[in-house]
Structure 1
Amino acid sequence: MDMIFFSSWDSLARTLVVGVLAYAVLVLFLRISGNRTLSKMNAFDLIVTVALGSTLATVLLSKDVALAEGALALGLLISLQFIITWLSVRVSWVKRLVTGEPILLLYDGELLQASLRKARVTQNEVRSAVRSSGLLRLEAAQAVVLETDGSLSVVKRGAGKGESSLAGVGGP
């Protein structure tokens, strides 16, 4: 029964020391890797973030994983994320593979049913995004786009006239 609440002072000391050091290593690696590592997340970034958290927790709580091994694992995950994002900026097929493409859900005030089904977005979610942007009716929106990070962007009518603001956005 004692093991459930307390195993030993050594175990607590190890968790404290390794926790502080592993956290410091993670913060250092994140600072070295740059702001992109902590940017608004797409699915790929979310996976890396979850993996980092899981690795940190394992280092903290498992006596079978040494701090050096944990630091290497954290560094490896961050390095792989850095390499993939570096490639995605330079190689278009890598970008499409990692982040996907934005999807046009509404154009010229009309809902695009095929795109809604493909993206698994409801009409009510689009209506909510339109209202959140300060518009009262769907017809007041030029477009609604499901971005690669899962957010919905609303382009108001008359915004960006003469610009190709919807270039690269997938339609139905």
Structure 2
Amino acid sequence: MFFDSWTGLLRVLVVGTLAYAALVLLLRVTGKRTLSKMNAFDLVVTVALGSTLATVLLSKDVALAEGLLAFALLVLLQFAITWLSVRSDRVRRLVKAEPCLLLHDGRFLDGAMRRERVTRDEVRAAARAQGIASLDDVAAAVLETDGSFSVIRREGSASSRILP
């Protein structure tokens, strides 16, 4: 249960080091976009790469060459989808969400908030995180494609009230 053999430990050291080095090299060659959290597809690829690395490290049934091929396949698919999404509106709409306006001129857009499953408290928290104390001082709050909030302060506003 705690220890099987020195051979197993040596395998994890050797295969783990080689798989890690190969993954880092592959990610450096393919560019920053491979691990970006821009949309759901990017997140899936990132999780799949981590899962593949763990499998290669811990499963004696998966050879290093198979793991490296899996890394290359995932990164190649990611590259192909991002390449196509830059060149095709149809592919871009398929794999990427659009930003969504949640609050405009201090007023919540309830329909959009329901569709995006966002609460008023989350929007208020995003405003506070930007140092905005009153929603009256917010021109817009947007749910971005990566799930983060952008809060745009109304021009000439000076927050004086604290949000509940």
TM-score by length of 2: 0.91
Q: 1:169 — aligned with what? A: none
Gaps of at least 5 residues in structure 2 are: 157-164
In structure 2, give the amino acid aligned to 1:116: M
Q: CA deviation at 1:158?
A: 2.8
Q: CA deviation at 1:89?
A: 1.1
* Residues in 2 aligned to 1:121 and 1:5: alpha-carbon distance in whole angstroms: 46
Q: Is the 8 A contact 2:26 2:72 kept in 1?
A: yes
* Residues in 2 aligned to 1:102 and 1:41: alpha-carbon distance in whole angstroms: 11
Aligned-residue RMSD, C-alpha: 1.2
Please list the CA deviations of residues 70-128 of structure 1 after superposition, one character each: whole Å capped at 9, or x if unmatched: 00000100110011111111111211211211111001111000011000000000011
The runs of at least 4 aligned residues of structure 1 exceeding 3 Å deviation read: none
* Residues in 1 aligned to 2:152 and 2:28: alpha-carbon distance in whole angstroms: 34
Confirm or deny that 1:106 pairs with 2:99.
Answer: no
* Residues in 1 aligned to 2:136 and 2:8: alpha-carbon distance in whole angstroms: 63
Confirm or deny that 1:141 pairs with 2:138.
Answer: yes
Q: 1:75 — aligned with what? A: 72
Percent identical among aligned pairs is: 65
3-state DSSP of counterpart to 2:132? coil
Question: What does 1:84-103 correspond to in 2, within 5 Å?
Answer: 84-103=81-100
In structure 1, give the amino acid aligned to 2:133: L
Q: 1:166 — aligned with what? A: none
Q: 1:25 — aligned with what? A: 22
Gaps of at least 5 residues in structure 1 are: 160-172
TM-score by length of 1: 0.87
Confirm or deny that 1:5 pairs with 2:2.
Answer: yes
In structure 1, give the amino acid aligned to 2:57: L
* Residues in 1 aligned to 2:154 and 2:123: alpha-carbon distance in whole angstroms: 16
Count of aligned residue pairs for this structure pair = 156
**Larger mean Cα displacement after TM superposition, 127-136 or 15-24:** 127-136
Q: CA deviation at 1:41?
A: 3.9
Q: 2:44 — aligned with what? A: 47
Q: CA deviation at 1:62?
A: 0.8
Q: Is the 8 A contact 2:37 2:43 kept in 1?
A: no
Q: Is the 8 A contact 2:104 2:140 kept in 1?
A: yes
